[in-house]
Structure formats: C-alpha cells, structure tokens
C-alpha cells in the first residue's frame, strides 16, 4: 500500500514546524499583551450547533462525522428502515394498479427517492461535525458558561478548523485560525484595540499589510436605498465574490436572485464609488480619502430617512478619526465599501487584511462585529467583535517575501551530538547527556553503531552546530574533542564537560 494523505491536508516537518511556531509565538504573545485569555473547544461540535450559521454555501463545506459505536450496522439498518417504509407505501400503490412489471417497479424508485429526503438521511447517520471556524464554537461556549464568565469576556483561541473547500494554492481543508474576540461590549473602543493589535502583530511579523474596513450597516443601508431591505444578505454574498467573479459575475448573480437592472445599477454605482461619482474600482492611480467616500454616501437620495446608513457612516467616521489620532505604526488601513465577507453573522464593522507586497496576496486576516451570534443559542444582547489570523496563509506570504529570520531556518534545536565508537561509549554518553540537559542544553546521542563519518553527516544534515566525539581514551581522560561544524574548527585540546557546556552556551548567546 502506497501511503498518502487526504486532498487539501498537509504534513509539517521539523523545518516547517519551527517557522510555524515562530508565527504562533508572535501572535500568541500579542494576544496576551492585549489582555486576551486562552480557551479551547472540541474539534467536534454537534451538527445543530454549526448548521445555518455560515450560509447555504458554508453549510455544504462542513465535514460531518459518522455516528460512532456499532455505526456501520446502525447506518445500514436506519437506511433500510427508511427505505422499507417508503417502498412499502409505493408497493401498495403499485399493487392497486395491478401493474408489477420490473420497469414499473423501478419507476417507483423515483417516488421513493424524492420522499427519502437527504436531510433525513444525514440526520440518521451523523450528529457531529468538525468545527468550521472558531467564532460559532466560541459563541456556544459563552452561552454555556455565561454564569461563570466575567464580561466583557476577551478570549483568544488557536486551533485548526476544517472546510471541505476545493483545495488550491492558499486554500486548505485543514488550517489554523488564531482568533481574538471581545464579547459583551458594543463599544467601538474594542474595534480600535483590535486595529492596534493587528498593527502590532503584523509589525512584529514584518508583513506589509493593507487592512480593509467596512461596516455591514452600510450594506444594509444601501440595500434600503435600492429598495431591497430584505435582501441585504444576498448583496453581501454577491459582492463578496467581486475579486473572484468580477463585476459582470456579481451583476449576473444579483439578477438571478431577483434584483432588477435598475437596482443593480444603483447598487454598483454606490458600491464601486471611490470618488467623484466615477467608477474607479481598478484605478489605483488616484488616492482617494476614506472620508471622501463616506461623504459621497451621504449624498444618496434617501439619506435623511436611512437611519441604518447614517449609523454605519457614523461608526466608520469614529473609527477613522481615532485611527488618525492614535497613529498606526506599520499597517495601512482603508475603507472598502465593497467589502462584505460572506459570513452570515456579521452586523457591524468588518475587517479584512491582505499582504501589500508580493504576487500572492490572499486574505490573511478577517473579522468583524456580530450583534446576536449568541442569540441563536438563547443568550440575547451579547454584541461581540473579533479578528482571526490565518496563519497558514501568513506562512505562505512570509515564505514568498522571505520574512523568516535566519536563526529559525533550522530543522533541529539540538545543540550538540555525541558521536561514539560503540555501545560502551554510548552508555557513557547517557551519563554525560544528563549533565548537559540539567544545564538546559539540547543533546543527542547517535544511537546506531555507525562509522564516525556517518555520524558527522547526520549532524550536518540536521544542522546541529557541535559534535563531541567519544572513544575509550576520552572516557578514561574525561576530556572530549569538540567540533564546531559551522566553522569546521575543532577545539585544540580535548575539553572537560564544564568547558564544553561553557563553549555551547557562549555560542548560543552570541547568536
């Protein structure tokens, strides 16, 4: 059997792990600096918890888990029972007709099939699913623990999520999200804190970033302006695909959803505005101020009565004003009123960040405010806002832009390898290794009885900086030659263990 792994999943070897760990450490450190506390939720959630939260398209991408236990027999029996019932009904019908040719019999299957709903079937074989994001499990957690938590509750969560998306560059079926959310406060101070958090984290990672900002209230207000108040979500889903399917694609999708040409034109005129009332979506030549765009929105015909539009503009104006006052150290931030983000649950601010350089610029962060995500689980009036770093894509971008520091480009953290001439020496090294490890030095003893050359080759391949060779002379002298593989220099005289420890510590503190 030739082994493989499922499509869209990946293994991470030591070299990748060290780089990933570098990103996780920076993100985690910043979450703590901003006062977020860690939680973790199970990989599996009840199917009910997840379905209906991500839109129809999201629901399709949820990985379901087969019921456990004697599941195979159970599934078969449950399925057969459902079919039996359906067929028994169709059988009676058929026998009344007195027509029982095989052809007719097969025909009756279509009746069965249509009755035998797919929903019913899935419910019978699957009650659990892999989490699709960290936000819905977080809302579920908050509701279940509402009496013991202190609000506003600030949590961070770093765990993998799973989506049955079509795999492609930058899109995986298993990937990590690193989320920070504040729930139980509708103050826009939280948005400002999150922007500061993004600024500091991307600055630490050295990734040049453009944050796009919008507000769902703006979209809702615009839906009202084009007389499609109940279709704000359709608008959000369609314009969210602008990058993928282009303006024509968006127009077609809206038309198929029942929007009139007039509504579509009115919508695009507003959504694509960058300044001067001219469509300039792909005109980077002219720098347009965020304020100009908001001012333009104030000119739409129903502005005075469009309270949700007013509210959205007001919130964005507050944010941009204070971002200017606070100052950003590293990232750029920009209003993009065509930014929608597909997720059902956003109601206010929405964020998206992309790298500002390089050829590969997928979204590396997303987030936003949700006013009633906990409501579906029975807890009303819990506004929350959060962001999610996509570290797998951050990794891809940092690789392209060569942003990983030199020192972590190593496949091993071992500091010294003991090379020996046989088992007697290996046993001796076990004792030496203990002393090194007590001093916090990472040590390996080469455990096969191979030629010295092969042992040095092992150290070279693993980028272990020092090799200490141990033979019977060294064992009796208790002094050992130490070779630095980076400089290819060997200690002039054999060294005592204390001297070797000093050498290694000196080398590493100099790094």
- 145-174: which residues touch a copy of itself (CB under 8 A)? 145, 148, 150, 152, 154-155, 160, 162, 164, 173-174
For the segment 362-421, give every residue that binds a copy of itself (CB under 8 A): 376-378, 411-414, 417
Work out whether 488 is an interface residue with a copy of itself (CB under 8 A): no
User: Please, are residues 174 and 159 in contact by the beta-carbon 8 Å criterion?
Assistant: no
Beta carbon of residue 164, minimum distance to a copy of itself (angstroms, whole number): 3
The yes or no reply on residue 96 touching a copy of itself (CB under 8 A) is: no
- Using CA atoms, how far residue 196 sits from 69, 384, 385, 414, in Å, is 48, 17, 14, 37
Q: Specify the residue, 69 or 284, whose C-beta has the smaller distance to a copy of itself.
A: 69
Site for a copy of itself contains 351 (CB under 8 A) = no
Distances (CA, A) of 5 to 2, 131, 279, 356: 10, 20, 46, 33
Beta carbons of 27 and 391 less than 8 angstroms apart = yes
Q: Does 278 bind a copy of itself (CB under 8 A)?
A: no
Residue among 148 and 301 whose Cβ is closer to a copy of itself: 148
Which SS3 state, helix, strand or coil, does residue 427 take? Answer: helix
Q: Minimum distance from CB of 77 to a copy of itself (Å)? A: 8
DSSP string, 167-231: PBTTB-SEEEEEEEEEES---THHHHHHHHHHHHHHHHHT--EEEEEEEHHHHHHHHHHTT-GGG
Site string for a copy of itself, 418-437 (x = CB under 8 A): -----x--xx--xx-xx--x
- 199, 226, 263, 317, 337 from 278: Cα distances, Å: 31, 18, 18, 22, 14
Going by the DSSP 8-state scheme, the letter that residue 468 receives in this structure is E
Q: CB 109 → a copy of itself: shortest distance, Å?
A: 6
State in angstroms the smallest separation of the CB of 377 from a copy of itself: 4
Query: To the nearest whole angstrom, how small is the minimum distance from the Cβ of residue 245 to a copy of itself?
Result: 20
**DSSP type of residue 480:** B
Q: Which of residues 217-276 bind a copy of itself (CB under 8 A)?
A: none
**The pair of three-digit structure tokens given for residue 128, joined into one six-digit string:** 């659990």
Q: Nearest approach, Cβ of 306 to a copy of itself (angstroms)?
A: 25
Which residues from 38-67 bind a copy of itself, rule CB under 8 A? 38-46, 48-49, 60-61, 63-66
User: Where does residue 184 fall: left (phi above 0), alpha (psi -120 to 50 degrees), or beta otherwise?
Assistant: left
| 346 versus 418: smaller Cβ distance to a copy of itself | 418
Stretch that binds a copy of itself, among 339-347, 357-365, 442-450, 465-473 (CB under 8 A): 442-450
Contacting a copy of itself within 466-485 (CB under 8 A): none
* Nearer to a copy of itself (CB atom), residue 194 or residue 309: 194
Q: How far apart are alpha carbons 136 and 129 in whole angstroms?
A: 13
Dist. CA 341–CA 233, nearest whole Å = 10
User: Is residue 447 involved in binding a copy of itself (CB under 8 A)?
Assistant: yes
Least Å from the CB of residue 415 to a copy of itself: 9
Q: Which is nearer to a copy of itself, 219 or 331 (CB)?
A: 331
Residue 120 is encoded by which pair of tokens?
């019913």
Contact stretch for a copy of itself (CB under 8 A) within 231-239, 342-350, 387-395, 458-466: 458-466
Contact criterion met (CB below 8 Å) for 24 and 179: no
CA–CA separation, 34 and 29 (whole Å): 9
Among 25, 93, 144, 451, contact with a copy of itself (rule: CB under 8 A): 144
Phi-psi region of 327 (alpha: psi -120 to 50; beta: other; left: phi over 0): left
Q: How far is the CB of 231 from a copy of itself (least distance, A)?
A: 26
Told to check if 116 binds a copy of itself by CB under 8 A, we report yes
CB of 266 to a copy of itself, least distance (A): 35
């Amino acid at each position: 059997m030739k082994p493989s792994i499922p499509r869209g999943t990946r293994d991470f070897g030591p070299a990748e792990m060290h780089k990933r760990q570098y990103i996780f450490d920076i993100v985690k450190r910043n979450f703590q600096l901003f006062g977020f506390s860690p939680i973790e939720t199970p990989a599996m959630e009840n199917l009910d918890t997840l379905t209906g939260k991500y839109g129809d398209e999201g629901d399709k991408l949820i990985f379901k888990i087969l019921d456990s236990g004697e599941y195979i027999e159970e599934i078969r029996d449950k399925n057969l029972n459902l079919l039996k019932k359906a067929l028994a009904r169709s059988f009676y019908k058929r026998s009344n007709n007195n027509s029982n040719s095989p052809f007719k019999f097969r025909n009756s299957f279509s009746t069965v099939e249509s009755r035998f709903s797919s929903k019913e079937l899935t419910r019978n074989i699957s009650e659990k699913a892999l989490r699709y994001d960290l936000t819905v499990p977080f809302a579920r957690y908050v509701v279940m623990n509402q009496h013991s938590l202190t609000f506003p509750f600030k949590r961070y969560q770093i765990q993998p999520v799973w989506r049955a998306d079509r795999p492609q560059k930058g899109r995986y079926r298993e990937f990590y999200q690193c989320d920070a959310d504040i729930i139980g406060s509708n103050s826009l101070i939280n948005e400002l804190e999150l922007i500061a958090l993004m600024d500091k984290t991307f600055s630490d990672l050295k990734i040049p970033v453009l944050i796009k900002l919008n507000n769902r209230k703006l979209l809702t207000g615009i839906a009202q302006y084009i007389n499609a108040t109940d279709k704000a979500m359709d608008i959000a889903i369609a314009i969210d695909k602008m990058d993928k399917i282009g303006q024509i694609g968006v127009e077609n999708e809206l038309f198929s959803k029942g929007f009139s040409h007039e509504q579509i034109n009115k919508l695009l005129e507003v959504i694509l505005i960058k300044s001067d009332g001219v469509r300039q979506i792909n005109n980077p030549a002219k720098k347009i101020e965020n304020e100009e765009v908001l001012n333009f929105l104030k000119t739409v015909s129903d502005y005075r009565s469009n309270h949700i539009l007013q509210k959205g503009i007001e919130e964005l104006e507050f944010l941009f004003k204070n971002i200017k006052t606070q100052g950003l150290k590293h990232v750029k931030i920009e209003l993009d009123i065509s930014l929608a983000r597909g997720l059902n649950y956003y109601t206010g601010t929405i964020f998206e960040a992309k790298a500002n350089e390089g050829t590969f610029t997928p979204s590396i962060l997303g987030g936003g405010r949700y006013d009633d995500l906990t409501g579906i689980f029975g807890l009303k009036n819990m506004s929350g806002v959060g962001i999610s770093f996509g570290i797998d894509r951050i990794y891809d971008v940092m690789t392209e832009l060569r942003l990983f520091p030199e020192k972590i480009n190593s496949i091993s953290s071992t500091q010294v390898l003991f090379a020996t001439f046989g088992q007697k020496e290996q046993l001796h090294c076990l004792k030496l290794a203990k002393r090194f490890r007590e001093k916090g030095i990472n040590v390996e003893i080469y455990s096969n009885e191979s030629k010295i050359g092969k042992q040095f080759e092992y150290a070279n391949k693993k980028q272990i900086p020092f090799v200490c060779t141990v033979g019977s002379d060294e064992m009796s002298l208790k002094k050992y030659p130490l070779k630095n593989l980076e400089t290819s220099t060997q200690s002039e005289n054999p060294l005592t263990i204390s001297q070797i420890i000093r050498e290694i510590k000196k080398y590493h503190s100099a790094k």
